[in-house]
Amino acid sequence: MELSVFWKSLIDSDHAPIVICDLSHTVVYMNPAAVRRYRVDLTGKSLKACHNADSNEKIDRVTAWFAADASHNEVYTSRNDAENKDVYMVALRDAAGVLIGYYEKHEYRDRETRPLYQMEA
């Protein structure tokens, strides 16, 4: 089985929104959690069309920083206290380390409350 099937399954099963963009800032994929959160599937559309001028300038600064050095791979972009989460932009690179895009990563900080190994739905 092709590895890409596993990667898509991994991204789709994540509870956090994941929005993947190419270097033209076109949304190439949104996982189901992202579509639910933003209430629209932006695949094929410009990420920049959804942001104001200040946010677009920040996106440009971060992607330029990613492109400047292969060790530049993650930037903390915001904190949402109401949802108890931090948001990051993360570089995506090919096997040679060349920047090919980026994604938005949400990290929720609440402690898990489910019992360990609970297997009920």
- CA 13 to CA 33: how far, in whole Å? 8
Residue 2 lies in a domain: no
Residue 114 lies in a domain: no
* Pairing status of strand 74-80 against strand 27-30: unpaired
- CA 65 to CA 4: how far, in whole Å? 28
> Among 102, 107, 62, 60, which Cα is nearest to 80's?
107
3-state secondary structure 68-94: HCCCCCEEEEEEECCCCEEEEEEEEEC
Encoding tokens for residue 99? 């920047």
Residue 39 lies in a domain: yes
Residue 5 lies in a domain: no
Average pLDDT score over residue span 103-115: 89
Q: Say how many domains are in the chain.
A: 1
Q: What is the pLDDT of residue 121?
A: 64
Quick check: 7 and 18 in contact, CB under 8 A? no
Kindly report the pTM of this predicted structure.
0.88
pLDDT in tens, 55-90: 999 999 999 999 999 999 999 999 999 999 999 999
- Residue 120 above 90 pLDDT? no
Q: What is the CATH number of the domain that holds 42?
A: 3.30.450.20
pLDDT band at 11; cut points 50, 70, 90: very high
Residue 121 lies in a domain: no
- Residue 109 above 90 pLDDT? no
Residue 60 lies in a domain: yes
Encoding tokens for residue 103? 């994604």
Domain carrying residue 33: 15-108
30 forms beta bridges with 19
Residue 115 lies in a domain: no
